[in-house]
Structure 1
Amino acid sequence: MKLTPHNIIHHELIGLDTQVVDSTNMSLIGIEGKIVNETKNLLTIETDVQEKNIPKSCSSFRFTIPSVDGKRYLPLTLKVDGRLLLSQPENRIQTKFKKKFRK
């Protein structure tokens, strides 16, 4: 499955560049780097200095995902509430999309 803004919460996050844009813990805001590990409740982000464990439940993240549009390389950024990511990664990836139809 190709990584898109519509399926990011059902996709592998390890290796993506991210930034903490909102958190109840003010000292976490602004941390950015590459995701190197993910558990049910934490994202481990590798910064220039060290690895930091960020709780998902009280943070919002801005992910930079690579996108290929024809021959141009356009990186996309999108904000995701960490509460949407709360589950074991292997279970979150396997969940099905719920399609909503409007009439």
Structure 2
Amino acid sequence: MFLKRSRRNLIYHELIGLQVIVKDHTDPSLMGVKGLVVDETQNMLEIERLDDGRRLKVPKAGGAYLFKLENNSFVLVNGDKLLGRPEDRLKRVVGG
């Protein structure tokens, strides 16, 4: 059974396809970036900017991200909790 992304389980889901705003980051040039997550690696989010379509690789660590869910609610996530591939993040929860 597939669980919908929610405030409580977002960090264990795929992030590709979600809109995101970089609310805070150790790299000040990344703060305020708005876009769509188009790729995710162990340590990076690739965000396609909404304003000009450019793609930026943004380190997950050191950032705080505001994700827009399918129900139009927003979830603020500490980037350090996103480190690792989505399938590995799930394994941490289920003990695999």
Shorter-chain TM range is: 0.7 to 0.9
CA RMSD of aligned residues (A): 1.5
Question: In structure 2, what is the Cα distance between the partners aligned to 1:21 and 1:28?
Answer: 9
- Which residue among 32, 53, 66 is the counterpart of 1:30? 32
Q: Secondary structure at the match of 1:93?
A: helix
Pairs aligned (count) = 91
Q: Which has more helix, going by share of residues?
A: 2
Q: Which has the larger radius of gyration?
A: 1
Question: In structure 2, what is the Cα distance between the partners aligned to 1:7 and 1:97?
Answer: 13
| Runs of 4+ that moved beyond 3 A | none
- Residue segments in structure 2 that go unaligned for 5+ positions in a row: none
**If the length of structure 2 is used for normalisation, what is the TM-score?**
0.87
1:2 aligns to 2:12 (yes or no): no
Matching residue of 2:74: 77
| Identity among equivalent pairs (%) | 37
Residue 93 of structure 1 deviates from its aligned partner by 3.3
- Residue segments in structure 1 that go unaligned for 5+ positions in a row: 68-74, 99-103
Residue 97 of structure 1 deviates from its aligned partner by 6.0
Q: Secondary structure at the match of 1:4?
A: coil
**If the length of structure 1 is used for normalisation, what is the TM-score?**
0.82
